[in-house]
Amino acid sequence: MTECDIASLDNLRRRVSGAIVVVLIFFSLIVLRLWSLQINHGEEYKNRADSNRVRIRQVAAPRGHILDRKGREIVTNRPSFNVVLMREDSHDLDEVLKRLAPILNDEVSTLWSRVREAEGTPRYLPIRLKEDIDWKTLAYLENHNKEFSGIRIEVQPVRIFHYQDLAANVIGYLGAISKTELESADQTVYRGGDLIGKMGLEKLREADLRGEKGNSYSEVDARGFERKLLKSYEPLPGREIRLTIDVDLQQAAENLMEIGEKSGAVVAMEVKTGRILAIASTPHIRLNDFVGGISRDKWQELLANEKHPLINKTVQATYPPGSTYKMVTALAGLATGVITPDTPIYCPGHYFFGNRRYGCWKKGGHGTVTLKRAIEESCDVYFYQVGQRVGVDGLAEYAGKLGLGRKTGIELEHEKSGLTPTKKWKISRYQTKWQDGETLSTAIGQGFNLASPLQICQMTATVANGGKLFRPQLVEQVTEPDGKVVQTFKPELLEEIRGLDTYMAIIREGLIGVVNGPHGTARGAKIDGITVAGKTGTAQVVKVAAYRHLKEADIPYKFRDHAWFTSFAPAEDPEIAVTVLVEHGLHGGSGAAPIATAVMKEYFRDRLSVPDEEIVKEIR
């Protein structure tokens, strides 16, 4: 072998060795990559593969039912079929939305706006394009589902209202969770598009009512269409809420307020427990308007309504209490010793204080009156002088004992505390001293005084039961879907006024005279067989000289006085207190008392000799 051959052979060997090394390195890299994919990151890529093959859907939980005190269903659920877009499964979205819009009876621009609203959210979250579609639309989309990539049908429970809008402003409504709400919510519980309580008990009891979502796992093809269900976990329904409300009393109150489209409030309460039997605010919202989302036009209509249906007037609106406040003035006068039950005060129809004349509602005057008759006939002059002797701070002290000037603590949102004025308050609020003449207005429930209908009912119940101030109670019990009781609420005594039983009994005698006396201001509220006690009130809205010469019927609605009537029965052993406020109803005896009387008759239906059909006719 020549030297040339040897050199060529060595060169060949080097090339073969180099090639072997390259091949070994190449295979080593492959092995290392496979090791990385299968061993180090195998689980991760397995999950990614599964996620491309398996779709996980959340299944909305049925919300808990809401019942009345007797177990009658007020709010339950029904299935709603919604059209949703799954962006990760969508192909040629513009074309899909163009074909989908006429089927949903929507504009293409409307569907695109809903898609754009979801920008910035994860693509796996569904975008709700249309809620609560009808059966015809559902059938069409189900039969042509392969023509609409990324479009799915979502089944979601929505509310059924078995008594239409019963207690609407108390029950409240649901709506889609907003971005702001979602940011502050528990991200393990909520996601975009979820329905949550927006108002009333639906909002306040969200944690109990919402339930726990379920999940379904489905196998999908490359285009995102479902092939088969792999497994599912059923949702857990929300807890059941039993209220203290009685459906019959609530219906009676609302039906009576709707006659003539009255605006105002009715509250009925158990005197010895504080349980709420009826709590009506009118006009109220229409609950079905919110199912599937309220339209912009209807929302604007609610906002523009001068009678404010979005406000729960039982707790969120306050008014001068008018002559219902005379219970406070009477108690303060007796307790401080400035009067006795027999102290006589002469009423000529007016009272001069300083350089001003303060009139009595009865222009001819009541003559000489003592406490019982002053309450029965609602003599302003008598209470002017009692209030003057007690002083504004003394009135405020006893108003506070009866629950005025502070929140009642009921489980309702945005409750107002009302206003019980004092000398210190006026300096703080207006940087000016209290004027003694202002005490006279305060003593008859005018001036700066403000109270909600619920506060007046709580005050009335406290006088009726002899001085026990209960927290108004709206929820009786909370139970799990399996019937296990989670919470039971007992009556809560906030305070007890001690040592004033005799004085309260004297005031109750006067209140009995208001309804049953020969000159009482609410004689029309009398019920045969049941002794009703009560107090009328007229709350001045505004004094306008231009309307003083007009008949009441000719005064513009917004300038008419508010009408109060607050009552309890049976007077011998009180069970129920009923308070009615009719905005611009003019007089308590004629504008508010008939409503309270009809609610009382419904409550005492089984104890009255009046035929049922007469009670029903009166209520409806």
Would you state the structure tokens that stand for residue 428, as one six-digit string? 């703080």
Q: Are 606 and 286 in contact (CB under 8 A)?
A: no
d(CA 585, CA 261): 11
Instruction: Tell me which residue of 476, 142, 95, 438 sits closest to 429, measured CA to CA.
Output: 438
What is the SS3 assignment for 137-179? HHHHHHHCHHHCCCEEEEEEEEEEECCCCCCHHHHCCEEECCH
Would you state the structure tokens that stand for residue 341, as one six-digit string? 């039950």
Q: Tokens 């877009």 map to which residue?
A: 85
CB burial of residue 572 (10 Å; 0-12, 13-18, 19+): exposed
Q: Which residues contact 501 (CB under 8 A, 6 or more apart)?
A: 466, 467
Q: Which is catalytic among the residues 80, 90, 323, 567?
A: 323
Q: Are 69 and 113 in contact (CB under 8 A)?
A: no
Q: Which residues contact 492 (CB under 8 A, 6 or more apart)?
A: 274, 470, 471, 473
Would you state the structure tokens that stand for residue 541, as one six-digit string? 């809205």
Q: Tokens 């003035």 map to which residue?
A: 329
d(CA 163, CA 173): 15
Does 80 participate in catalysis according to the annotation? no
Within 10 angstroms of residue 185's Cβ, the number of other Cβ atoms is 16
Catalytic residues, by residue number, are: 323
